Amino acid sequence: MKVAINLDKAQVAEMYRQMALIRLFEEQCARQYQQGKIRGFLHLYIGQEAVAVGAMSVTRKDDYVITSYRDHGHAIAKGIHPNAVMAELFGKVTGCSGGKGGSMHLFDIEKRFMGGHAIVAGQMPLACGLGLAIKRKKEDSAVLCFFGDGAVNEGYFHESLNLASLWKLPVIFFLENNMYGMGTLVSRARAAGKDIYLAADAYNIPAAQIDGMDVAAVREATAEALKRVRTGDGPVFIEAMTYRFRGHSMSDASYYRESSEVEREQVRDPIPAFKKLAVTEGLISEKELAQIDKEVEAAVTESIKFANESPNPPMEALFEHIIAS
């Protein structure tokens, strides 16, 4: 991990707090799922926290974020309260989508968090639409579109990059390459090899490959990308090399990879790595980080209590938000 020379104490504390919050929140999600409190699909973000937190740390409130079904970390990093996220996972009316979206469909329009999309790569053309709206309104906000390596062989991927480049849309295409599309290694699914960022060259989009386990590197790359898209020069492509420590979803036993591989990647765990860096550089003390850990534990405990005590949506809600012709 590189030295975070451009971070002050408050920034270090907030980035650590967010990564620790997302990690503990998701560990508790797994427990609540096993207890039957959360139903349907549940895709955990554990191991990839540095990407969402690093990227979101340099965005503005008027920037849009849109992502895939592995969306808990992005939602919390964008500012959605953990209570509203946990309540959504429980299917409660106090959830950020009114209890109707569940794990894969977190939304908060006021915070410009536009989902949470279950269709692989389905969020990419929507990101172009958001970018076009920004351009038509002559605003200088941006769209951060997160997706996984499983999306890059979809038609949406190529159509979206092409259109965004032609129309110079203010979109950052943020690939989180965790090496596996469900259970398939990237190199087994993609004819052009594992360095996916090179694909952007065909669409005349500047691209970079970064260490997605290094929150400071993600922050720096995103800040540079935002400078370009805000000036109207068109999209940027970032490939963040990361790793998910859990299976594709709660039903995935990860038989397609060796335990030794997971253990090797866990040495790169972004949270202890950032903690060690911050303390070594004298940016924050062990005691202050321990206090943050206590606050995070309290916040996650409160989110579960809030979700448990929240009511289910009323029966009338079955007939809301339905389009009929």
Quick: pLDDT tens for 52-71: 999 999 999 999 999 999 99
Among the ranges given (87-101, 137-151, 241-255), the one the predictor scored with the smallest mean pLDDT: 241-255
21 vs 253: CA distance, rounded Å: 25
Which pLDDT belongs to residue 236?
Answer: 98
Instruction: Select from 114, 120, 151, 107 the least CA-distant residue to 133.
Output: 114
Which pLDDT belongs to residue 322?
Answer: 85
The answer, as to whether pTM is greater than 0.75, is: yes
pLDDT bucket at 155, cuts 50 / 70 / 90: very high
Which string of DSSP letters, residue by residue, matches 34-70? HTTSS-S-----TT-HHHHHHHHTT--TT-EEE--S-
pLDDT(44) > 90: yes
Phi, psi of 290 (to 5 degrees): -65, -35
Q: How many residues does the chain have?
A: 325
Which pLDDT belongs to residue 45?
Answer: 97
The angle at the Cα of 265, spanning 222 to 14, to the nearest 5 degrees, equals 40
Mean pLDDT of the chain: 95
- List beta partners, residue 210: 240
279 vs 248: CA distance, rounded Å: 33
177 vs 53: CA distance, rounded Å: 16
- Rounded mean pLDDT, 99-114: 97
Model confidence pLDDT, tens digit, residues 200-258: 999 999 999 999 999 999 999 999 999 999 999 999 999 999 999 999 999 898 999 99
Instruction: Select from 225, 65, 76 the least CA-distant residue to 146.
Output: 65
pLDDT(274) > 80: yes
Distance from chain centroid for Cα 188:
24
10 Å CB burial of residue 10 (0-12, 13-18, 19+) is exposed
Q: Which residue has the tokens 């997706």?
A: 147
